[in-house]
Structure 1
Amino acid sequence: MCGINGIFAYNRSAGPPHETELVATRDYMRARGPDGVGEWWSDDTRLCLGHRRLSIIDLSERALQPMESSDGRFVIVFNGEIYNHPDLRIDLESSGVRFKTTSDTETLLHLYERHGADMVHRLRGMFAFAIWDTTERSLFLARDPYGIKPLYTANDGWSFRFASQVKALLAGGKVSRDPEPAGIVGFHLWGSVPEPFTLYRDIRALPAGHTQYIDAAGPREPKAYTSIAQLLAEGASNPAPAGEAINRIAVATLDSVRAHLLADVEVGVFLSAGVDSGALLGLMRDAGQNEIRAVTLAFEEFSGGTEDEVPLARDVAKLYQAEHIVRVVSHQEFKSDLPAILQAMDQPSIDGINTWFVAKAAREVGLKVALSGLGGDEIFAGYPSFRDLPRWVNLFALPAKIPGAGIATRALLGFLGVAKQSPKAVAMLEYGGTYSGAYLLRRGLFLPFDLKTVLDPELVRHGLRRLAPIRRLKQSMHPDPKEPISRVAALESANYMRNQLLRDADWAGMAHSLEIRVPLVDSELLRSIAPVISRFKPGVGKRALARAPSTPLPVSVTDRPKSGFGVPIGGWIDHSAHAIAQSKGAASRAWACEVWARSSSSDETPAALPS
């Protein structure tokens, strides 16, 4: 796990990159890689690469980056882990390749030398990397199918830049800070900035599951090589018998956990009282890990209540013979850490506080790698959306086809005052008849017609035009998995999980130099269980996951009402915001306003954009 960056002055009229920019961008990401630092320049000094290293596999200096191929033709900077690299290495060695290290970085170099861009189809892992070809004078970028690892780019028509963080690109001093209305509107809709947008017009995310070439003619359009919807659609088109679900899930999840334990350092686990993290702990034991440290957060506000995770987490740790570490977080610590949290938050988010503190706790006890149960709800149908969205669509599909009916109904109910009691209910006819619209209702903090109450109307108009939220949600279901459960899985995975949960795991973990691994967010796992996902009934997926370890999770865990892995944020934000936090949704809105207000007052984000 690392921080990567580079500058390519592809236009001959552009001046060569400055070392001060390369170093400023690279060293802004110091926390991502405290174990090593490097840079590389092309012979003509028109391309430079930077790297900060968090050493996990092959801890020796021979694995430092940027790394050159043996003949010097290819140079790579890489952020992530390739979990099947031992098997790839065996295949390469059998065909005559000789390795100098035991790192997965070198495996990527040899794969690119052999297979070019097609190499991405052979990779299992989380990754974002750049490879420079000194012969073709071209730069190749790639990002993993789920988008676990970030990669941001900026192109001004003269030079192309990339880095693992938005703020790192800004730290270089050469990228415009002009605001992106689509990013601002997207944050207020969902509480996170939807990729490929950022808060800045000139900075884009390389989309998940995409590659991109940059040469003397400039950057080509990113090219998709896979998608979550595609894997789900393939599975739905070849469904497996429902009776296979339990065994298929047990085999596939154990395989994924075993792969994610690959490391030359200790691997711990975040443990809540839920099924996802508990199952991971049991599967870690089944995979042969004998000594396991499990970290659980505790809050005085939750003590003795239904949201207190500690008692059940302690029971699960005891069941699987793990060392249980309980870390208490107070309101005072939250207030003390808040400036650092907002500084580390690469883009504004209403979540991630829990991950910040559990990553902090894991690093305090010496861990550099921890597994997280993130992703379980998305593929095992654990959210209410898997029940609500199909029901809403069935109910409103026909009425929604009546031209203008939705808008007229919203106007009438608003006039009657219904919107004050239930703002989303008035939009049900307008949005509830399609999966993309219903998802916007289910996940939205604000709805498009609400935005003018918190943002400048002109900014809203431009932002919605550029963002096209309904069309963007629909695209995340392409190709169409067709089955209701698979459609919702695609929506949740490619939107909420990617833009918020995975991004939060990255910035919050990396702020503490901790690599967070997510075995339930794995393309091979998805490919294996996609044929049974469409057969899930309510609760079936999670119960199957609970039974995946050889010693299943107890009923006390599986029957516990879902509470999420949260913090008492509603009681911790400022009193002015807390006054409107009368519900979970209102608390999220309050925190969104708090995040925006505090981040927009710094030099890191556009100032004074909200009205």
Structure 2
Amino acid sequence: MATSHGRWLVPGVSMCGINGIFAYHYAANPIDREELARSRDDMASRGPDGKGQWTSDDERVGFGHRRLSIIDLSEAASQPMISSDGKLVVTFNGEIYNYRELRKELEAKGRTFQSNSDTEILLYLYAEKGDAMVHDLRGMFAFAIWDAEKRKVFLARDPYGIKPLYYADDGWTFRFASQVKSLLAGGKVSRDPEPAGQVGFYLWGSVPEPFTSYRAIRAVPAGSTVVVDRIGAHEPKRYHSIAAAYREAEDQNSRAPRSIDGQAQIREALLDSVKHHLVADVPVGAFLSAGIDSGALVGLMRDAGQSDIQTVTLSFEEFKGRAEDEALLAAVVARTYGTRHTTRVVTEREFQADLPDILEAMDQPSIDGINTWFVSKAAKELGLKVAVSGLGGDELFGGYPSFREIPVWAARMAMPSRIPFLGRAIRKALFASGLDRRFNSPKAAGFVEYAGTYSGAYLLRRGLFMPWELEEVLDPETVHSGLRRLKPLMMVETELTPRPKSSFAKVAALEASLYMRNQLLRDTDWASMAHGLEVRVPLVDAVLLRSTASQRMSDPERGSKMSLALAPRTPLPETITKRSKTGFTTPIGDWLKRGGGEIKYRSVSSLSDTGCHWSRRWAYGVASAPVAHA
């Protein structure tokens, strides 16, 4: 089955696992084909439909690929893919939703295509535009291109960071993969722990980019590119910023006249995104809850012309007949839009049986992801390869309490927080005396010190443990080194550059760039790909962001969750829109308690709890691994 250049031919293309090795230093050993294969095959669940491998004639560079067939199921779409002139090679994970438009443009310039895949677009777009190609792409993607003429590897990751991409550079050889553990599986990357990753997990419930659990491994930042040439990996170069999108919308709207029918424009932008996210050569289903986000997307899928929609909802035995059970209201939405609907019941026995596989699939420590695991499992049982999720709606339309609370905190505490040493003195006194516990939250001790800025207020709102608590759960050396390397407040502040003017835009940029990126998107990726399922998120789209930001900045009343609920031609019923926001609750925390709460995660020993409404204090002594809701 091997062909020239060591390439393997397999059917299908797109959503996958990718990896590669580049021995860039002149004195480095040639790449190890077995290492390349080990790293690739550790991602078998990401690409159960086949595998591919390519190595250069001089054995200085090699790419690997695991396949989940979504677009162009023919052999012509095999990966790694080589350009017709042999000068470029690509390995690609993701979907380019505007690939048909890009293909027309490239064909008009004389490019000839051998497949109908979105992968081939990347080769010839790079040939035309080089590194600047990323500005033309709409989709979720992580890819690497080998440029034989320039002797360089070019890596890119999508604007929001929907698809993961990690790398390690030891000064001689550069390695990359879709998963942290797959880099380790190759056997030649150091396992020394990263203190910033450990501290970051305890602060946020996930390991914040660009750090991972290991010193030697870094994430390619979302919306960034990395070039690797003869001197090694250059610093990542950012080409997209969520904060910049809001700031540009603010600047434009200060000069532009106010539009008349903002709701119609929001509907048009949402429908456009949904249409693009339905591009596939296999059926596209949908996750359906009792919330506005997923329900509105199902209605828009119907408006976009999909007549047969398979939807799936999770339910739990413990919640039957209770307010926490979303199954009844999800069924109302399913009837409203005429879907083929399935309610999948998850039991405690199934959870306990799946837990070892969940922890094995979890690429980095997380307190999230369990419900995505089970709903993805249910979708796979129904025969789906692709499902749409409502993830991103709260970040885009201001659905979290943080949109109300953080601006109020920052305004009220701005002056007290500027008084030298006041906040720190209050925090130390309260924490040392234990009086902070009387407020039912250890965060209260740091309120004066932190709440007067958006970065500090965000840490208070989203933080699990506060920096001054970390020595209760980690050794002091790890805490000091981790905080020094992580610089949590500076990390938060970076995501507000360039700084938006409005309070909504500031919080939206933080929620999308931190909580959604490091937690929700990452957990959705590992939990769904473990079942060979591609999850698409139409509300996490750079083009949609620009459209909705423009509307929101021109009129604060626009771009609310009701704008989303009213977007389908048949709006969501009032039973959904008037329902209080509760989040997705699971009984998994209780299940863990009954099971002893002692779990082991192979990457980092961590303390956490599970479930949506979990007790933070219970996390101090019960679990030793991260799991929770999605």
Query: Would the TM-score normalized by the shorter structure come out above 0.5?
Result: yes
The count of residues paired between Structure 1 and Structure 2 equals 599
Determine which of 416, 436, 449 is the counterpart of 1:419.
Answer: 436
* 8 Å CA contact 1:359, 1:509 repeated in 2: yes
Which residue is equivalent to 1:252? 269
TM superposition shift of 1:409: 1.2
How far apart, in 2, do the equivalents of 1:425 and 1:583 lie?
23
Which residue is equivalent to 2:602? none
How far apart, in 1, do the equivalents of 2:614 and 2:327 lie?
27
Q: What is the Cα-based RMSD across aligned positions, in Å? A: 2.0
Which residue is equivalent to 1:299? 316
Determine which of 89, 96, 110 is the counterpart of 1:82.
Answer: 96
**245-254 or 545-554: which moved more?**
245-254
TM superposition shift of 1:142: 0.4
TM superposition shift of 1:593: 6.8
How far apart, in 2, do the equivalents of 1:184 and 1:593 lie?
17
Against the structure 1 CA distance between its residues 15 and 388, is the aligned structure 2 distance closer, same or farther, given a 3 Å change threshold? same
One-letter code of the match for 1:527? R
TM superposition shift of 1:241: 3.6
Q: Does 1:459 align with 2:446?
A: no
Unaligned runs of 5+ in 2: 1-14, 599-607
One-letter code of the match for 1:400? S
Paired-residue identity, %: 60
Q: Does 1:227 align with 2:246?
A: no
Determine which of 501, 511, 523 is the counterpart of 2:530.
Answer: 511
Against the structure 1 CA distance between its residues 583 and 12, is the aligned structure 2 distance closer, same or farther, given a 3 Å change threshold? closer
* 8 Å CA contact 2:267, 2:568 repeated in 1: yes
Q: Does 1:338 align with 2:352?
A: no
Which residue is equivalent to 2:177? 163
* 8 Å CA contact 2:199, 2:479 repeated in 1: yes
TM superposition shift of 1:577: 5.1
Which residue is equivalent to 2:449? 430
How far apart, in 2, do the equivalents of 1:383 and 1:321 lie?
29
How far apart, in 1, do the equivalents of 2:335 and 2:528 lie?
26
Which residue is equivalent to 2:593? 574
TM superposition shift of 1:88: 0.5
Aligned partner of residue 424 in structure 1, secondary structure: helix
One-letter code of the match for 2:568? P
Q: Does 1:57 align with 2:71?
A: yes
Which residue is equivalent to 2:12? none
* 8 Å CA contact 1:236, 1:486 repeated in 2: no
How far apart, in 2, do the equivalents of 1:227 and 1:583 lie?
31
Determine which of 438, 454, 459 is the counterpart of 1:440.
Answer: 459
One-letter code of the match for 1:187? F
Determine which of 232, 256, 279 is the counterpart of 1:218.
Answer: 232
Which residue is equivalent to 1:491? 510
How far apart, in 2, do the equivalents of 1:593 and 1:117 lie?
49
* 8 Å CA contact 1:349, 1:500 repeated in 2: yes
Structure 1, residues 24-46: CA drift from partner, whole Å, max 9, x if none?
Answer: 00000001011121111111001
* 8 Å CA contact 2:45, 2:532 repeated in 1: yes
How far apart, in 2, do the equivalents of 1:489 and 1:356 lie?
26
Which residue is equivalent to 1:104? 118
- 1:183-582 equivalences in 2 (<5 Å): 183-239=197-253, 241=258, 244-415=261-432, 417-421=434-438, 422-534=441-553, 541-575=560-594
One-letter code of the match for 1:492? E
Structure 1, residues 487-537: CA drift from partner, whole Å, max 9, x if none?
Answer: 000000000000000000100010000000000000000011112234675
Q: Does 1:182 align with 2:193?
A: no
One-letter code of the match for 2:119? T
How far apart, in 1, do the equivalents of 2:38 and 2:610 lie?
44
- 1:37-48 equivalences in 2 (<5 Å): 37-48=51-62
Aligned partner of residue 207 in structure 2, secondary structure: coil
Unaligned runs of 5+ in 1: 600-611
TM superposition shift of 1:592: 8.5
Which residue is equivalent to 1:144? 158
How far apart, in 2, do the equivalents of 1:261 and 1:28 lie?
29
* 8 Å CA contact 1:348, 1:595 repeated in 2: no
* 8 Å CA contact 1:6, 1:47 repeated in 2: yes
Against the structure 1 CA distance between its residues 451 and 20, is the aligned structure 2 distance closer, same or farther, given a 3 Å change threshold? same
How far apart, in 2, do the equivalents of 1:379 and 1:561 lie?
18
TM superposition shift of 1:306: 1.3
TM superposition shift of 1:427: 1.0
* TM-score of the two chains, using structure 2 as the length reference: 0.92
Aligned partner of residue 316 in structure 1, secondary structure: helix
* TM-score of the two chains, using structure 1 as the length reference: 0.95
Which residue is equivalent to 2:8? none
One-letter code of the match for 2:615? A
Structure 1, residues 401-448: CA drift from partner, whole Å, max 9, x if none?
Answer: 001111111123335543113211121101100000000000011000
TM superposition shift of 1:586: 4.9
* 8 Å CA contact 2:159, 2:542 repeated in 1: yes
